[in-house]
Structure 1
């Protein structure tokens, strides 16, 4: 009986492991295998060794795409994480109606990203968009732009949309973390004469440091995986100003038919994301233990 029951946990895990192996592990193994070949998706595969990886590293567009996504991540760290932190502090200070504010701010997260991209494309439209119309109404017509068609504003415009969507997501994380801060600590700070801003900056935020670390990690790794906003709003344009690794990878595979080359780029992108995650966790872990990175 004991031996029979000893197998029970593995039997319960088996279906999930099979699905994981079929849906995740098998595609990963196939992608790595394809990355060493030249293949158009239906013809004969030709083994080329590391040629695809060398070509990807030497590809100026692929290298520039990482510069663009790093700029996007830097902007979203402010527009999503920092703004979400501030919103959590503001909503937490509302005594009545806090729930409605949280729901209103969180609502964009529940919208399909493709719908969000299409709506904001109309907002940014140079001819009849809401943004240019508002600027003209307020006498600021000189600031009107072709927002998604200008190389100097396209990436910023997409980052603003991302911040509008995900600031509510991070607000929810931080609000939940703030609710776990002991009330006696806050009361002690108030008795010492600290104002609400000082309490927020010097008491609440340091006490939810782990939540902030998790939020930063989610924002950075999620930024590298971004695709839908860029694909729908600009598809890498204008002139490659918003080309990021995922959009360039999809074009390479599905538009140019270079499955092997695209697979090599996918492997490199995955290595960058995993490498950053491991380094980030390592560094933050050392700081929590009191060591120096």
Structure 2
């Protein structure tokens, strides 16, 4: 019976394992393999070992794109997750109309990224965009600018739709975690006279620490996967000011047909994300 049960488990697990190997492990290994070649996708491959990686970390544009990517990680850690937390806690208090507000806050998450980018491109438009029109209306026309073309404002302008669209996802995840907190613990804290912020810091956050870890890992992954907002709004400009590793990988791999170099960027991004994920998991769980 034990042997029969073992084979039944293997039989049911096999499709999932094969699916994972074929659609995840195989492409990953193929990417690592291709990163060791000088290849344009058409001609014969030339084995150059780790030369692509050496050139990568001597590439000023890649270094800038990596710094810009960490800027998005910063936004996730210090803007997106905190705002998502307080929206979730606001809903957790079951204010009047909280179900309607929950839907409203989550709508941007399910909205097409292309649609969001298109809307914000009209908002930022220098001549008839809402922002510049409003500034002219209130007598601050000297502050108008081409928000997506100005080196001083481009990065912030691109980051706004990203933060706005994904706050709702963090909110829903954290809200689910808040609902798992026993009411007795919250009530006991209130009876002991714990203040609003003390309750959040000393009761709520420790109780949903694992949920916050999930949000952190997801947020870091999304920051390194970022591609569409930059491509649609600025295409990495002006002068690579908003370039991120995702768009630079796309340029090298698909526009310049340097597939080996593009694969080396993809492998480097994967290693960094895995390293940060391990640090987040080990660091925060060890404090528990």
TM-score tier by shorter-chain length is: over 0.9
My pick for the range that moved more, 86-95 or 193-202, is: 193-202
Q: Secondary structure at the match of 1:58?
A: coil
1:89–1:200 contact (8 Å) kept in structure 2: no
| Residue number in structure 2 paired with 1:271 | 271
| Residue number in structure 2 paired with 1:86 | 86
Aligned length: 288
Closer/same/farther in 2, CA of residues 201 and 45 from structure 1, 3 Å limit: same
| Residue number in structure 1 paired with 2:54 | 54
| Residue number in structure 1 paired with 2:250 | 250
My pick for the range that moved more, 181-190 or 99-108, is: 181-190
1:144-166 C-alpha deviation (Å, 9 max, x unpaired): 22111111111111221111111
| Residue number in structure 2 paired with 1:28 | 28
| Residue number in structure 2 paired with 1:283 | 283
| Residue number in structure 2 paired with 1:291 | none
**Alignment gaps of 5+ in structure 1:** 289-293
My pick for the range that moved more, 261-270 or 200-209, is: 200-209
My pick for the range that moved more, 270-279 or 194-203, is: 194-203
| Residue number in structure 2 paired with 1:180 | 180
1:76–1:162 contact (8 Å) kept in structure 2: no
Matches within 5 A, 1:32-47: 32-47=32-47
Matches within 5 A, 1:1-293: 3-288=3-288
Taking the aligned partners of 1:20 and 1:89, their CA distance within structure 2 comes to: 36
Q: What is the TM-score when the length of structure 2 is the normalising length?
A: 0.93
1:227–1:247 contact (8 Å) kept in structure 2: yes
1:55-86 C-alpha deviation (Å, 9 max, x unpaired): 11111111111111111221232331111111
1:86-135 C-alpha deviation (Å, 9 max, x unpaired): 11122223432110000000000001212211111111111111222222
Q: What is the TM-score when the length of structure 1 is the normalising length?
A: 0.91
Taking the aligned partners of 1:286 and 1:198, their CA distance within structure 2 comes to: 22
My pick for the range that moved more, 227-236 or 251-260, is: 227-236
Taking the aligned partners of 2:190 and 2:286, their CA distance within structure 1 comes to: 32
Q: CA deviation at 1:202?
A: 4.2
